[in-house]
Every structure is written in structure tokens, then in C-alpha cells.
Amino acid sequence: DQQVKQNSPSLSVQEGRISILNCDYTNSMFDYFLWYKKYPAEGPTFLISISSIKDKNEDGRFTVFLNKSAKHLSLHIVPSQPGDSAVYFCAAKAGTGTASKLTFGTGTRLQVTL
């Protein structure tokens, strides 16, 4: 049951360049999408989110784009820094203001090289 899919298990980007991480979903009930970053031996750290009423949300170097018709979202990191090297998880939630669970993708390991 892969309602949230991250098809690229890994991505390598040069420092200073743009990193683009992709995520697809199948459940039309999802209305809130989040990106988490995870370092080894740590829990997922919230990075940025977007609700289904928007198509773009920006926070510093991080921008998330949502294409509802394609059921696709992406995370852009510009410029990429070595400290961005981590596993990035896309997550989705159906229902706001409730204890709704997060459904996670399998993650994309980003490596930013010097």
C-alpha cells in the first residue's frame, strides 16, 4: 500500500546547486503535505509543509511545490549545502485539526558534495 511514493532512493548534488526531491501520492483525501529531514540516529525533523489550498510554499532556501492534478509534490533546496546531506521524507495527512496520522514515503538520501 504505497500511498506516498518517493521513486528516487538517492540523489547527489554539488554544493551551491539546486536539489530537487520528488514525491507522488495516490490518495485524493490527502490535504496536507510535509517534508522531514532525518540524520542518522536522530528522529525526523520537520522542514516545510504545504496545504492543498496552495501550490507553493517557501521558507528560506526551501520551497515546496504542489501539483494536485498530477498528485505530485517536490522540494527544492537552493543553494544546496553540505549540511543538507540527509534522508528526506515526504509525508501526507488526510484531515486537518485532528489526530490524523502521517503517511510517509520511503525517503530520498541526498548527498551534497563539495
Partner 1 sequence: EPEVTQTPSHQVTQMGQEVILRCVPISNHLYFYWYRQILGQKVEFLVSFYNNEISEKSEIFDDQFSVERPDGSNFTLKIRSTKLEDSAMYFCASSTGVSYQPQHFGDGTRLSIL
Q: Which residues bind partner 1 (CB under 8 A)?
A: 32, 34, 36, 41-46, 49, 51, 89, 91, 96-107
Nearer Cβ to partner 1 (43/83): 43
CB of 80 to partner 1, least distance (A): 23
Nearer Cβ to partner 1 (11/94): 94
CB of 90 to partner 1, least distance (A): 10
CB 31 within 8 A of CB 51: yes
Residue 50, C-alpha cell as written in the block:
504545504
Q: b/e for 68-81, b at 16 or more Cβ within 10 A?
A: eeebebbbbbeebe
CB of 92 to partner 1, least distance (A): 11
CB 23 within 8 A of CB 76: no
